[in-house]
Amino acid sequence: MANMNLTTASNVLKVFYLPPLRRLLNNSTILWNRLERHEKFNVEGKNFTVPLHVSRHTQAGAGRAEEGTLPSKDSQGYNAAVVAAKYIYTSIQISGQVIRATKSDAGAFIRAVRSEVTGAVRDTKKSANRQAHGDGRDALAHYSTGSGTSITVDDNQGNASVYLQPKATTCDLIDASDDSTILNNSVTVTLGAEAATNYAATLGASLSGSAADGDYFVLEDTLGNQMTGLAGIVNNANPPLGNLHSIAVAGNPWWQSQVVGADIGSTYQDLRFPLLQRVCSRIAQNSSYDKEDIKFILANHFMVDKYYELCANERRAVNVMQLDGGYEGVEFSGIPIVADVECWNNRLYFIVPEALRICRMSDFDWMDDDGAVLSRVANTDAYEATMFHYGDIATVARNGLGVLRGINQ
């Protein structure tokens, strides 16, 4: 094996770890796996410009009497979505002792850092997928009750047990009334025991201001900097942080997804086959796509369990479909319903992959602008490496996507 130095160690991270890292992150869930990657959209500064087809020729196929005046000329209608790139980072730290202890054996270095690198990749995958299901705010949990350092949090629409950890996580507490005011910044939150409807949590410092039910925690300094996912895209309203891709819903009926069912906080209903069929019908009726273009339905595991219950109650056979990439789903009318742990509660997303894109300036990669992946941590006998991804999720046909929401689980 080659002798180890910083250059060799950097090459190990790039050559040995980068290819499987990219495969894992880009294929970690069926959503990331099925969406097209686009790096050729027009990039202006920090934004992608995505062309949208929004209307058809109004005079196509118009009939006329013999020797009548020909129909008026017309053309297809177009608009442009402006998608702001989001910058995702994950940094790892390797001690100087590890590098020196393995300096005579690159293989030993690979083994020594494997746990740290694979753990970082796993956590990056989970964070990116959480954002891919979010509405742009990336709320980890919502404040419910409590004062001082002892509070309770609930999931509201996400899952506090999934999005927070029993490990101190540095967060900002955001005022839900305006989605911009930081009530407490850089406060650590540690998830505790689960109760009937919420979770206990411990703060590293007492709340400095008043918090109301529904205010939410985000990772420190991330508000407005996270990707906009399905909850913001597959909707008939503007996302909480502003217009989707700089296009407002008002005055643009083509910029609304096919939504069936109540929103968060409303009266929920049980899952029924006609509700599932209704979303399919709305996509076929109100967009340029057909039911056959819906390639999969996404829901969390609880909703998939409810579909199994529905099939049992209706005495319908359950057919498990094996999909390319090693995924599987339970069939509804020829469409696989696939479980994803990060999917929001009480809903099912009907996905036409052609209507979604991953716009990116860069695939997942290591920062090495100065030629070295590893760089010295100031005043510390340690070295750090940073993984990054520049891009966001975009839709080219918001009305070709659907969601059934407000379903008991």
90-106 pLDDT, tens digit per residue, is 998 888 888 777 766 66
* CATH topology (fold) of 6-57+77-134+359-392: Major capsid protein gp5 fold (3.30.2400)
What does the pLDDT read at residue 2? 47
- Three-state SS sequence of 185-246: EEEEEEEEEECCCCEEEEECCCCCCCCCCCCEEEECCCCCCCCCCHHHHCCCCCCCCCCECC
User: Which two three-digit tokens encode residue 353?
Assistant: 């992959």
What letter does residue 16 receive in the DSSP assignment?
I
Give the burial string for 122-134 (b: 16+ CB within 10 Å, else e): eebbbbbbbbbbb
Render pLDDT for 37-86 as a digit per residue (tens, 0 to 9). 655 555 556 788 877 876 665 667 777 788 778 777 756 666 778 888 89
List the one residue out of 244, 237, 190 whose CA is nearest residue 217: 190
Q: At what angle do helices 18-26 and 106-132 cross, to 10 degrees?
A: 20
Which residues have CB under 8 Å from 250's CB, separation 6+?
Answer: none
Q: According to CATH, what is the number of the domain 241-358+396-405?
A: 3.30.2320
Quick: pLDDT tens for 277-321: 999 999 999 999 999 999 999 999 999 999 999 999 999 999 999
Q: Where are the domains of the chain?
A: 6-57+77-134+359-392, 141-219, 241-358+396-405
Alpha-carbon distance 273 to 39, whole Å? Answer: 39
Say if pTM beats, i.e. exceeds, 0.85. Answer: yes
